[in-house]
Each structure stands twice: as C-alpha cells, then as structure tokens.
Amino acid sequence: MRYSVLSQKDDETLVRHVYDLHMATSCEHDIAILRRLVKAVIQTDVAQFGKQHTQFVNSSADELHYGLACVETNPIHKDRYERFIDPLVYHDEPATWNEALQTVNELVQRLRTEGRAERRSLLFQWCACQAVP
C-alpha cells in the first residue's frame, strides 16, 4: 500500500490475490462467512504489520479502497497479472485481467451493500488486492 512505496520493495506477486479472489468467489459462497473471513484476515494483518502501516490500522477500508484503485489504474498490475497467469495457472481458460478485476469489484460491492444492510456501523473490510502503484 502507500507506505510500501517509501519503506519497502514492491511485491510484484500481489496480483495473485486478484486471481485468487476471482476463483474463490466465482462459485457459490456465503457472503456472511466471507465477510467474517475478511474481518479476521484484516485483524491478522493489523497485528502482524500494523507498526509498518499506521494508515491501515487507522482505516483498513480506506487503504483497501486505495489499493484497489491503484490496481485498477496502474497498467503495471495488468502486465504483472498476465505474467503470473501463464506459468502458474493450469486452468484451460484462466480468467483475463478484466474478468478477474470485475469479479473483485462485484465482491467489494456485495460486501459493502450487504454489510450496510446488516449493520450500519460495520466498516467495509476486504483483503485480496493489496497492491502498490
């Protein structure tokens, strides 16, 4: 995320989370269970990396939205995704960048919409696309 630009090397393999989220949510799943999983992963990330990234501790939702915006707007992430797919994915027809990114955006919307309906005070939380511009 933002802190990484200054303090550590960009992890080029983070685009794998876009593919993983696409595959994990392209079949039937329970959004309530997924929401709990996302919350648990964020809590783990805060515990493990919080000292390195205070913005994430203070507002994980804002930082995750920032990361998604970076992934969507910086073409380097599409290039990285395409390089990742060829050697590591053994699916006959792996998801294209646009397909996988669309799935992630749909997931974000579902988590957001259903989370608000469930509890107004719930902060939107999502972990698969931590990306550095």
Per-residue pLDDT for the chain (133 aa), expressed as one digit of tens each? Answer: 444 444 456 678 778 888 888 888 888 888 888 888 888 988 998 999 888 888 888 988 888 888 889 889 999 999 999 888 877 777 778 889 999 999 999 988 888 776 555 543 333 333 334 444 4
> What does the pLDDT look like over 31-64, one tens digit per residue?
888 888 888 988 998 999 888 888 888 988 888 8
- How far apart are alpha carbons 80 and 89 in whole angstroms? 13
Residue 68's nearest CA partner among 106, 29, 118, 30 is 106
Closest residue by Cα to residue 22 from 131, 129, 133: 129
pTM (global) more than 0.85 = no
Q: CB under 8 Å to 128, separation ≥6 — which residues? A: 17, 18, 20, 21, 104
Cα angle 28, 44, 117; round to 5 = 50
Alpha helices in the chain (DSSP H): 2-7, 16-25, 31-49, 54-58, 60-73, 75-88, 97-118
